[in-house]
């Protein structure tokens, strides 16, 4: 193991890690928003909108992110639409993650007892107020474990971004292996940096799950 080589490559990995984190953060934030909207549309059972959302979820969940990225980066230019590597990565991550977030939110919304909605409306709350103050807080708390798992899943999916010429962690590792044939060193650094990113996220997710469980959220009884 060439330790000196690994030390010299650290700045490249640090730069790639920050790029990975920026794109993952943007993609996750947008996917959470998209997922919540999709879940609310399906919960409201709006005929045409619900069908569109269901079709999107099925398409997203049953096609690999790699294929979606190829379509964005190599397919859209054929139609005269040109996107940067970062934009393709963010759109692809949102398209994939939004469907998983939607299913997580949907399970949370369905866990809220119908009697609570009826009780809130009988007290004079509008449907919007009932959704904001009664349904969503409980639904989101129930969805925390699934949402946390989806966040970790999305961060790991960033490893395919190198196919659209994005200088992320995987791109740097493959580049170093191709140039210097330092496979063990490059992969060791790759694994180390992914652990540095994912272990704190996993710890935070576990902490949030414990807080929700101990607070008793989502258990109205």
Contact 144, 208 (CB under 8 A): yes
Q: Which residues of 112-150 are buried (b: 16+ CB within 10 A; e: fewer)?
A: beeeebeebeeeebeeeebbeebbbebbbbbbbbbbbeb
More confident residue, 94 or 115: 94
Average pLDDT over residues 186-213: 88
Tokens found for residue 5: 């080589």
pLDDT at 91 > cutoff 90: yes
**Main-chain dihedrals φ then ψ at residue 49, nearest 5 degrees:** -65, -40
Q: How confident is the model at residue 220 (pLDDT cuts 50, 70, 90)?
A: very low
Averaged pLDDT score across all residues of the chain: 87
Summarised one tens digit per residue, pLDDT across range 45-80 is 888 998 999 999 999 999 999 999 999 999 999 888
Classify domain 3-215 by CATH number.
1.10.3720.10
Contact 61, 99 (CB under 8 A): yes
Q: Report pLDDT for 45.
A: 81
Residues 34-53 have pLDDT tens digits of 999 999 888 878 889 989 99
d(CA 205, CA 185): 30
Residue 14: per-residue pLDDT: 93
Give the predicted TM-score (pTM) of the model. 0.85
- Chain segment 101-160, per-residue pLDDT in tens: 999 998 888 888 878 777 887 888 777 788 787 888 888 888 888 999 999 999 999 888
Question: What is the number of alpha carbons within 13 Å of residue 4 lying toward its C-beta?
Answer: 0
Q: What is the pLDDT of residues 17-27, one digit of tens each?
A: 999 999 999 99
Distances (CA, A) of 108 to 65, 74, 79, 117, 140: 25, 37, 39, 14, 6
């Amino acid at each position: 193991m060439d330790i000196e080589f690994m030390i010299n490559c650290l700045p490249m990995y640090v730069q790639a890690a920050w790029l990975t984190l920026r794109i993952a953060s943007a993609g996750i934030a947008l996917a959470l928003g998209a997922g919540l909207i999709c879940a609310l549309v399906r919960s409201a059972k709006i005929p045409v909108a619900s069908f569109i959302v269901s079709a999107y979820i099925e398409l997203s969940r049953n096609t690999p992110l790699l294929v979606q990225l190829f379509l964005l980066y190599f397919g859209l230019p054929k139609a005269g639409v040109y996107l940067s590597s970062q934009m393709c990565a963010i759109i692809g991550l949102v398209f994939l993650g939004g469907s998983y977030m939607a299913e997580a939110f949907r399970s949370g919304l369905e866990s809220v007892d119908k009697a609570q909605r009826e009780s809130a409306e009988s007290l004079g709350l509008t449907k919007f107020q009932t959704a904001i103050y009664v349904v969503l807080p409980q639904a989101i708390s129930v969805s925390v474990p699934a949402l946390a798992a989806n966040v970790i899943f999305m961060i790991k999916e960033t490893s395919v971004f190198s196919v659209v010429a994005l200088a992320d962690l995987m791109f740097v590792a493959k580049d170093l292996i191709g140039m210097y044939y330092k496979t063990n060193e490059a992969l060791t650094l790759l694994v180390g940096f992914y652990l540095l990113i994912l272990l704190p996220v996993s710890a935070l997710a576990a902490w949030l799950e414990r807080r929700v469980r101990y607070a008793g959220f989502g258990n109205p009884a």
